[in-house]
Amino acid sequence: MDGVKLDLKELEADKKRNFEERLAFIDLYVEWLKKTPNEIWSKQQKELIGGAGKRRKEGRKEGRVNPEKDRTG
């Protein structure tokens, strides 16, 4: 790692900031879930999960996903 300077304090600050951002996102998402009817958020989850499955299948067909390493079935 010649010439690479790592500022451990800066990395630690980034780690803390990222963690706080994740917690803030979770809080926002929970609030959204509480005020959003089940029909809406469950439909969005279905589309998200279904889209991931579709992309995985396409990846297998195109050789982008190694079937031996893909544990999703």
pTM over 0.75: no
Look at residue 66 and tell me whether its pLDDT is greater than 90: no
Q: Domain locations in the chain?
A: 10-62
Q: Identify whether the C-beta of residue 68 lies closer than 8 Å to the C-beta of residue 54.
A: no
Look at residue 6 and tell me whether its pLDDT is greater than 90: no
**9-63 pLDDT, tens per residue?**
999 999 999 999 999 999 999 999 899 999 988 888 888 888 877 777 777 777 7
Provide CB contacts within 8 A for 60, sequence distance 6+.
67, 70
